[in-house]
Amino acid sequence: MWLSATELVRAYAGGDLSPVEVHRAVQRRIAELEPTVNAFWQRDALESERAAQQSEARWRVGEPLGPIDGVPITLKENVARAGVPMPAGNAGVTPVVPDRNAPITDRVLESGAVVLGSTVMPDWGMLSSGVSSLHGITRSPLDPRLTTGGSSSGAGAAAAGGFGPLHVGTDIGGSIRLPGTWLGLATLKPSDGRVPIDVPYLGRVAGPMARTVDDLALLMSVIAQPDPRDWASLPPAEIDWDTSGFEPRSVRVGLLLDAGCGMPVDPEVRAVVERAAGALGDAGAEVVPLEPWMTDDLLADLDTFWRVRSYVDLVALPPEQRERVLPFIARWATAAADTPGTRLMQCYTATNTIRARTVAATQAYDIVLSPVAPMAAFPAEWPMPWGEGDTAMAHIGFTVPLNMSGQPAATADAGRTADGRTVGVQVAGRRFDDLGVLRAARWLESALRGR
């Protein structure tokens, strides 16, 4: 089922399609592909069929609950659904069983969406792949030999595989956007607080993943609502999530081709981003090359901060459960075992330095265009882009600064490598300008289609 959410809603309103027949088509697609891609942690086809039937009855009398009534959607396994265990992709933990929904879950249910299930993630969400000690390997529907990216691995696989048009992921360093580039998706890491989460954490957001930018905007119109369970959620905002009207001639674009840290950018990836910048320039945008503001030391500090956090979780497990954690994650976290408190505070301070530098470097520009990751998709069996070796977070130099600064960042499918792997571009903006980012991403999506 390849129709977008916006197309489905129009078809429902016109009586050309029903939520039940769409749901059944999606279930057939899942049955065909799920044994290969491994996108779901939990799904109940009977439950979602009942939801589709209820939606169909509402559409029949012209009373949809909201703008995504009857549209199939998935939620990442760390987005709470009451009664559904949340193991965080980890075979070593005792899953939390929430007694209430997350804010996002409530919003999509209130709008009548048909929740297909919860999608998988790698251990504690600390890998940029679909490798999990609990779930096994999640693979790209485009080429099962390749990774989906992560940690929103199942959401990415579901989006690229045609398991409905709308999907929700989370992102603390690139976990929504990396599947975006490696699966040819449209994704959005919203501004901090734009989409309430429960509970908030430094740099962590939830956001939409889809195959079109218009579908991102449609889902944002539902989930970008304040909720008191997230004390950092933004106040109500009247946003018309119309993605049309982007005018390149009035836009100043910062072009970042060197992250200043981590792995060098593959020439094929760089060429795709340069073509996107060229399209904007040809349409009248002012394109200004940017100097990098990140450093290897800052990225290493952030990596150490996360290692310590994960080590605390690791040593809290009983020894027999600890042994079930993915060996890569156990090694990565244990490397921080002897980190002193003074060093940890230095690493925390680095997050503020990253925030300040990112805001200062980007505020003069309406959008900042860059690679999402320095490389195209890698083998599905690898936990990280370099395999089993430990080079920390060398691949997130373009994505993670925007988590620390709280700025919105989208991905748009922009090209292919010579061997056919997808390459996206990242479109970032000033904090709170989520709509401006989506409008720019939609323009690029259209301008670069077929290039």
Instruction: Please state the rounded mean pLDDT for residues 14-42.
Output: 98
Asked if pLDDT for residue 373 goes beyond 80, the answer is: yes
Distance CA 451, CA 440 (A): 17
Q: Is residue 327 part of a domain?
A: no
Of the residues 76, 129, 133, 140, which is catalytic?
76
Flag whether 322 is in a domain. no
Residue 320 lies in a domain: no
Active site residue 189: no
Tell me the β-bridge partners of 286. Answer: 252
Sign of CA dihedral 125, 152, 347, 297: positive
pLDDT of residue 451: 53
Residues 196 and 272 placed together within one structural domain of the fold: no
Q: Say if residues 290 and 99 touch (Cβ distance below 8 Å).
A: no
In this structure, the answer to whether residues 284 and 387 fall within a common structural domain is: yes
Catalytic annotation present for 76? yes
115 and 264 both lie in a single domain = no
Closest CA to 81 of 49, 54, 43: 43
- Token pair for residue 291? 């100097």
Residues 280 and 409 in one domain: yes
- Is the previous residue joined to 191 through a cis bond, with omega within 30 degrees of 0? no
pLDDT at 330 exceeding the cut of 60: yes
CATH assignment of the domain containing 107? 3.90.1300.10
- What span, in angstroms and rounded, lies between the C-alpha atoms of 267 and 273? 10
Give the chain's domain count: 2
Residue 314 has pLDDT above 90, yes or no: yes
Q: How confident is the model at residue 450 (pLDDT cuts 50, 70, 90)?
A: low
Model pLDDT, residue 389 = 77
Say if 36 falls within a structural domain.
yes
Q: Read off the pLDDT band of 390 (50, 70, 90).
A: confident
Is residue 235 one of the residues assigned to a domain? no
Residue 335 resides in a domain? no
Query: pTM above 0.85?
Result: yes
Q: Are both 161 and 275 inside the same structural domain?
A: no
Asked if residue 193 and residue 130 are part of one domain, the reply reads yes
Q: 3-state secondary structure string, the chain?
A: CCCCHHHHHHHHHHCCCCHHHHHHHHHHHHHHHHHHHCCEEEECHHHHHHHHHHHHHHHHCCCCCCCCCCCEEEEECCCCCCCCCECCCCCCCCCECCCCCCHHHHHHHHCCCEEEEEECCCHHHCCCCCEECCCEECECCCCCCEECCCCCHHHHHHHHHCCCCEEEEEECCCCCHHHHHHHCCEEEECCCCCCCCCCCCCCCEEEEEECCHHHHHHHHHHHCCCCCCCCCCCCCCCCCCCCCCCCHHHCEEEECCCCCCCCCCCHHHHHHHHHHHHHHHHCCCEEEECCCCCCHHHHHHHHHHHHHHHHHHHHCCCHHHHCCCCHHHHHHHHCCCCCCHHHHHHHHHHHHHHHHHHHHHHCCCCEEEEECCCCCCCECCCCECCECCCCCCCCCCCCHHHHHHCCCEEEEEEEECCCCCEEEEEEEECCCCHHHHHHHHHHHHHHHCCC
Contact 241, 220 (CB under 8 A): yes
- What type of residue is 254? G
Helix axes 267-282, 434-448, angle to 10 degrees: 100
Closest alpha carbon to 73 in 36, 116, 102, 35? 116
What is the band of 61 on the pLDDT scale with cuts at 50, 70, 90?
very high
Residues 178 and 261 grouped into a single domain: no
Domain assignment of residue 328, yes or no: no
Residue type (1 letter), 415: G
151 and 268 together in one domain: no
Q: Is 112 left (phi over 0), alpha (psi -120 to 50) or beta?
A: left
* 17 in the same domain as 149: yes
| Statement to judge: residues 213 and 118 lie in one domain | yes
- 96 and 85 Cβ atoms separated by less than 8 Å: yes
258 and 203 assigned to the same domain: no
Annotated catalytic residue, options 128, 175, 221, 405: 175
Q: How many whole angstroms separate alpha carbon 287 and alpha carbon 180?
A: 24
Domain boundary pick from 188, 223, 258: 223
φ, ψ at 366 (rounded to 5°)? -70, -40
Q: Are strands 72-76 and 166-171 parallel, antiparallel or unpaired?
A: parallel
Instruction: Determine the Cα–Cα distance for residues 210 and 206; give it in Å rounded to an integer.
Output: 13
Q: 63 and 106 in contact (C-beta within 8 Å)?
A: no
| Of 176, 206, 223, the domain-final residue | 223
Spot the catalytic one: 55, 129, 151, 153.
Answer: 151
* In contact, 124 and 76? CB cutoff 8 Å: no
Q: Which residues pair with 425 in a beta bridge?
A: 371, 412
Write out pLDDT tens, residues 198-223. Answer: 888 999 999 999 999 999 999 999 99
pLDDT of residue 113: 99
Lowest mean pLDDT among 82-91, 230-239, 351-360: 230-239
Instruction: Among 158, 189, 223, give the residue marking a domain's end.
Output: 223
Inside any domain, residue 368: yes
Residue 206 amino acid letter? A
Record the tokens describing residue 143, joined without a space: 């080429």
Share of the chain above pLDDT 90, in %: 97
Q: What is the pLDDT of residues 153-192, one digit of tens each?
A: 999 999 999 999 999 999 999 999 999 999 999 999 999 9
| CA atoms of 196 and 199, how far apart (whole Å) | 9
pLDDT tens-digit profile of 352-370? 999 999 999 999 999 999 9
Angle formed by the axes of helices 327-334 and 296-315, to 10°? 110
In the prediction, which pLDDT does 238 show? 92
Amino acid at 109: L
CB 359 within 8 A of CB 254: no
- Identify the domain containing residue 33 by its residue range: 5-223
pLDDT greater than 80 at residue 335: yes
- Each residue's pLDDT tens digit, 412-439: 999 999 999 999 999 999 999 999 999 9
Task: Answer whether 42's CB lies under 8 Å from 118's CB.
Answer: yes
Residues 62 and 203 in one domain: yes
Q: Two tokens at 69?
A: 């009534």
